Structure 1
Amino acid sequence: MEINEEMIARYKEYFYRSDFINYMLRIDGNPAAMGSLFLSGEEGYIANDYTFQTYRGRGCQLALLKLRLADAVKLGVKMVYTDVMFGSVSHENMERVGFKTAYLNTFWIKK
């Protein structure tokens, strides 16, 4: 993932909004993983999960998920949503913290 000035300019507004909370997990002072929690009244949306390659397989996202869900409860959120690729590591992590599949997206192709 390349971070450049254009990307920063496009997304910087999200880092200063009270309804968009960003999380960074560090290991030995180094950024290891990140994620976000969007808030809208009593609803929340978990998004932007990313773990840097070096730190994958170490439970970073599971830890961030648990923290964001705990924060959501403290903030009065009653329902939390997210979307992940079916069968992925993210899917497994969501099930570990109690999410249930609501529906599946399907991809179609015509030759």
Structure 2
Amino acid sequence: MEINEEMIARSKGYFHRTDFINYMLRIDGNPAAMGSLFLNGEEGYIANDFTFPAYRGRGCQLALLNHRLADAVKLGVKTVYTDVMFGSVSHGNMEKVGFKTAFLNTFWIKK
């Protein structure tokens, strides 16, 4: 993905909000993974999960998920939502930390 000035201008407002917390996991001082937690009263939404390729398969997102969920509890959040691709590594991670499938989004095609 190419990062340009327009993208930075559109996104930078999110990084100075109290209802949008960003997390960075580092290994040996290097960025390894990131994710966000959106807050809305007693509800939270986990999003923006990304692990840099060199660090995949090392439990980075699982660690970030647990950290964000612990923070959510400290902040008074009662319910946390997220969305992931069914059957993906992210799906497995969500099940490991206790998320349950609420519904499936289907993809359709017509030739």
2:72 aligned with 1:72, yes or no? Answer: yes
CA distance in 2, matches of 1:87, 1:98: 16
Which residue matches 1:35? 35
Structure 2 unaligned blocks of 5 or more: none
C-alpha distance after superposition, 1:33-52 (max 9, x if no partner) = 00000000000000000000
For residue 69 of structure 2, give the secondary structure of its aligned residue in structure 1.
helix
For residue 95 of structure 1, give the secondary structure of its aligned residue in structure 2.
helix
CA distance in 2, matches of 1:86, 1:72: 24
Structure 1 unaligned blocks of 5 or more: none
Which residue matches 1:8? 8
Aligned partner of 1:42: which letter?
A: E
How high is the TM-score relative to the length of structure 1? 0.97
2:58 aligned with 1:54, yes or no? Answer: no
Number of aligned positions between the proteins: 111
Which residue matches 1:105? 105
> How far did 1:6 drift?
2.5
Aligned partner of 1:109: which letter?
A: I
For residue 21 of structure 1, give the secondary structure of its aligned residue in structure 2.
strand
Which residue matches 1:24? 24
For residue 73 of structure 1, give the secondary structure of its aligned residue in structure 2.
helix
> How far did 1:8 drift?
1.5
Percent identity, aligned pairs only? Answer: 87
> How far did 1:5 drift?
2.6
Aligned partner of 1:105: which letter?
A: N
Question: How well do the aligned residues superpose, as a CA RMSD in angstroms?
Answer: 0.8
